[in-house]
């Protein structure tokens, strides 16, 4: 098995694992962090597919801006549930 | 019954995934060679990077509709958020503020570079706009940008500029040929004008999607 | 097997995970997470299948670039809608998911 194939398989396992964990992990905050990890792994996958344009956009938008929006929503939800916290 | 439903959903989704995979493995080779068609027409597109050529020239209407969708999504968000008092930029940690002050101009520089390099290498309006928006989010997190209840006139012009310039160019070349078919001699310049306005609008809209929905916290 | 086909198959798996999450999870923020994963799966399929013969195809890549930007706009709109629902009902679940709803996290 060549090194690149091993890397591809490892990356795909990491992608599927982080996606599944993001949806099943008990703590919602962890779920969002896992989705950010998933976005960064996606950027790597795009680089492997010879798509540096999408890799750039995915790292900035998929991981960065989506993460900021979702984290803010989680913070908002927590502040609502635990007033004063 | 209620307990069993998620199990059934997961099983059906797994079945769909397996069917998709089986269908992919069964596909015949490509009937149409798109990369060849792009390469053959690249010289007439006005740019040297194939993806920018596809985005702004060959399939320009995708991008035209995309900026319209972005604007529409922002209208939706603005209609949903409670009008709250503007201002109230609460100061964050001084270290974060200083870092944000240092980084924001650099990010604007990177955005400009990505926009310019997009004509010949990976980069372009989308990535540049995303970096601009990230600069806006960073400034907001550092408490240097206020949230706003309603965009003022200048901001409104900036938000709509990308769509307006794109539509104006599309209308201007309509006399020459079909929609968004640029005259080859002018294509490079027109694409740069469109991309520059798109970058500004995408950056402002993406930042606004964040700024408008995050509220003022005590 | 080409790199493109390999990632297209991974995209099918992600699509299935996202779809299952979107339909089965009651919490609206989880649904939004699942929606993003589902979209990423579709993007991988689009680019991966286009490049299954091993060559780089700029057309699906440009379409996915557009798709990523539209996906974040949809996410922001969905979050604004979910916040509005939280504001009005105090919960982050759709009415039809309520009866068997357990107390979800956060």
- Tell me which of A6, A12, A23, A82 to substitute to probe the interface with C (most C C-beta atoms closer than 10 Å): A23
Give φ, ψ of C101 to 5 degrees: -70, 130
Q: In angstroms, what is the C-alpha Rg of chain A?
A: 15
Shortest Cα distance from C19 to chain B (angstroms)? 6
Neighbouring chains of C at 3+ CB pairs under 8 Å are: A, B
Q: First and final CA of chain C: distance in angstroms? A: 43
Above pLDDT 70, what percent of chain B?
89
**B77-114 as b/e: b if 16+ CB within 10 A:** bbebbeeeeeeeeeeeeeeebeebeebbeebeebbeeb
Q: With an 8 Å Cβ cutoff, are B215 and A76 in contact?
A: yes
Residues 167-206 of B with CB under 8 A from C: 202, 205-206
Shortest Cα distance from A18 to chain C (angstroms)? 10
CATH fold of C3-96, please?
Helix Hairpins (1.10.287)
B contacts of C80 (beta carbons < 8 Å)? 76-77, 80-81, 213
Q: How far apart are the C-alpha atoms of B34 and B1, rounded to whole Å?
A: 50
pLDDT (tens digit, 9 = 90+) per residue, A33-82?
A: 999 999 999 999 999 999 999 999 999 998 889 999 999 899 888 887 76
Rounded to two decimals, the ipTM of the complex is 0.90
pLDDT (tens digit, 9 = 90+) per residue, B193-215?
A: 999 999 999 999 999 998 887 65
3-state secondary structure of C27: strand
Residues 53-112 of B with CB under 8 A from A: none
Beta bridge partners of C93: C27
Shortest Cα distance from B185 to chain A (angstroms)? 26
Q: How many CB atoms lie within 10 A of CB B75?
A: 12
Q: With an 8 Å Cβ cutoff, are C15 and B29 in contact?
A: no
User: Is the pLDDT score of C43 beyond 80?
Assistant: yes
**In the prediction, which pLDDT does B121 show?**
87
Q: How far apart are the C-alpha atoms of A44 and A10, rounded to whole Å?
A: 12
Higher per-residue confidence, B203 vs B143: B203
Q: With an 8 Å Cβ cutoff, are B137 and A72 in contact?
A: no
Is C74 an 8 Å CB contact of chain B? yes
Is A83 an 8 Å CB contact of chain C? no
Beta bridge partners of B147: B87
Give φ, ψ of B30 to 5 degrees: -60, 135
Displacement of CA A24 from its chain's centroid (Å): 14
Shortest Cα distance from A42 to chain B (angstroms)? 16
pLDDT (tens digit, 9 = 90+) per residue, C44-87?
A: 999 999 888 888 889 999 999 999 999 999 999 999 999 888 88
Domain spans of chain C? 3-96
In Å, the largest CA–CA distance within chain B is 67
pLDDT (tens digit, 9 = 90+) per residue, B74-117?
A: 999 988 876 655 555 566 788 888 999 999 999 999 999 999 99
């Amino acid at each position: 098995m060549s090194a690149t194939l091993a890397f591809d398989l490892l990356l795909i396992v990491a992608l599927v694992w982080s996606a599944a964990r993001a949806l099943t992990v008990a703590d919602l905050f962890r779920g969002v962090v896992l989705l950010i990890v998933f976005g960064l792994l996606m950027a790597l996958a795009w680089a492997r597919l010879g798509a540096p344009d999408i890799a750039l956009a995915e790292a900035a938008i998929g991981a960065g801006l989506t993460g900021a929006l979702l984290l803010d929503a989680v913070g908002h939800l927590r502040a609502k549930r635990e007033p004063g916290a | 019954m209620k307990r069993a439903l998620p199990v059934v959903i997961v099983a059906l989704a797994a079945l769909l995934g397996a069917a998709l995979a089986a269908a992919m493995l069964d596909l015949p080779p490509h009937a149409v060679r798109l990369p060849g068609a792009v390469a053959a027409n690249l010289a007439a597109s006005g740019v040297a990077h194939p993806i920018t050529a596809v985005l702004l020239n060959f399939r320009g209407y995708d991008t035209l509709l995309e900026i319209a969708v972005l604007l529409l999504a922002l209208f939706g968000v603005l209609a949903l958020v409670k009008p709250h008092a503007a201002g109230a930029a609460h100061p964050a940690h001084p270290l974060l503020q200083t870092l944000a002050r240092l980084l924001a101009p650099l990010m604007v520089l990177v955005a400009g570079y990505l926009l310019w390099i997009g004509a010949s290498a990976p980069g372009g309006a989308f990535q540049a706009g995303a970096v601009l928006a990230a600069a806006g989010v960073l400034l907001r997190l550092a408490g240097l940008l206020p949230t706003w209840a309603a965009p003022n006139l200048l901001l409104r012009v900036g938000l709509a500029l990308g769509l307006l310039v794109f539509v104006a160019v599309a209308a201007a070349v309509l006399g020459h040929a079909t929609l968004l078919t640029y005259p080859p001699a002018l294509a490079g310049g027109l694409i740069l004008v469109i991309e520059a306005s798109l970058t500004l609008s995408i950056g402002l809209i993406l930042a606004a999607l964040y700024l408008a929905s995050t509220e003022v916290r005590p | 097997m080409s790199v493109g086909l390999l990632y297209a198959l991974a995209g099918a798996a992600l699509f299935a995970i996202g779809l299952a999450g979107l339909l089965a999870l009651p919490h609206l923020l989880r649904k939004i997470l699942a929606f993003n994963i589902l979209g990423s799966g579709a993007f991988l399929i689009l680019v991966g299948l286009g490049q299954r013969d091993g060559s780089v195809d700029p057309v699906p890549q440009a379409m996915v670039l557009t798709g990523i930007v539209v996906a974040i706009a949809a996410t922001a709109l969905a979050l604004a809608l979910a916040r509005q629902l939280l504001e009005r009902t105090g919960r982050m679940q759709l009415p039809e998911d309520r009866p068997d709803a357990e107390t979800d996290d956060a």
